[in-house]
Amino acid sequence: MRREAGAQHTPPVAIRLEKNLPVASGVGGGSSDAAAALNGLTRLWKLDIDASSLARIGLSLGADLPMCLKAKPLVARGIGDEVSPLPAFPSLGLVLVNPGVAVSTPDVFKALSSRDNEALPPLPKRLDFHAIRNWLETTRNDLEVAARSIQPAVGETLKALKRADAAFARMSGSGATCFGLFETGNVAKRAAIEIRARHPDWFVAATRSMEVSDGQD
């Protein structure tokens, strides 16, 4: 940011970070923190930096920074730098579960057996809970097999979500966090309570995806 705007426009700052997500958990927590810092510094320093320039700066910190800077439902391609925000997306009940282990992203990529895989299938025209669940069934996380070979706890996490009646469960990013999809937020909360009771030492959080309506910026 200083190289982009010049030191005279970017006086020193002190930043305190309160982290509530597990470290190295595959949910983009560090990248989200970095994106929030970049957005916050842009406002604090009153910088005239457009979104594409900010994304370029963010990309130097990590491949998923551009999508975290957008902070809305989107489809990411390439290494994560080609982002296409969705015009509409429903709020979905989700449960995030981490078995208390960290998985190194570089180690997962090293263990990846194939890097030449089919592209993501197109999203359905109508985006509701059932359509998204059915679409997710046709997709995959190429990193999951590699992560499970490094950390078998990933498999136990997926079993716990399915036992709690998740309509769909998959590993997030490079792991070890997994997510479960639930039809409503209340169902997700009940599932989180059930998983937490069985695994009190795990990180378990019920949440919802961000809703975007047609025409909403």
pLDDT tens per residue, range 72-123: 999 998 888 899 999 999 999 999 999 999 888 889 999 988 777 788 899 9
Task: Assess whether 45 and 96 both reside in one domain.
Answer: no
Task: Assess whether 66 and 109 both reside in one domain.
Answer: no
Domain CATH for 217? 3.30.70.890
Task: Assess whether 193 and 121 both reside in one domain.
Answer: yes
Task: Assess whether 100 and 49 both reside in one domain.
Answer: no
Task: Assess whether 213 and 129 both reside in one domain.
Answer: yes
What's the pLDDT band for 215 if we cut at 50, 70, 90?
low
What's the pLDDT band for 50 if we cut at 50, 70, 90?
very high
What is the number of structural domains in the chain? Answer: 2
13 CB neighbour count, 10 Å cutoff: 10
User: Which structural domain range is residue 140 located in?
Assistant: 87-217
Average pLDDT over the chain, rounded to whole?
93
Domain end call among 24, 56, 85: 85
Domain CATH for 43? 3.30.230.10
Domain end call among 30, 61, 85: 85
Question: Can you give the pTM of this predicted structure?
Answer: 0.89
Task: For residue 93, report the phi and psi dihedrals to the nearest 5 degrees.
Answer: -75, 130
Tell me, rounded to whole angstroms, the distance of Cα 88 from its chain centroid: 18
- What's the CA dihedral at 69, 185, 142, 200 to 10 degrees? 100
Whose CA is closest to 96, among 35, 36, 138, 157?
Answer: 157
Domain end call among 18, 51, 85: 85
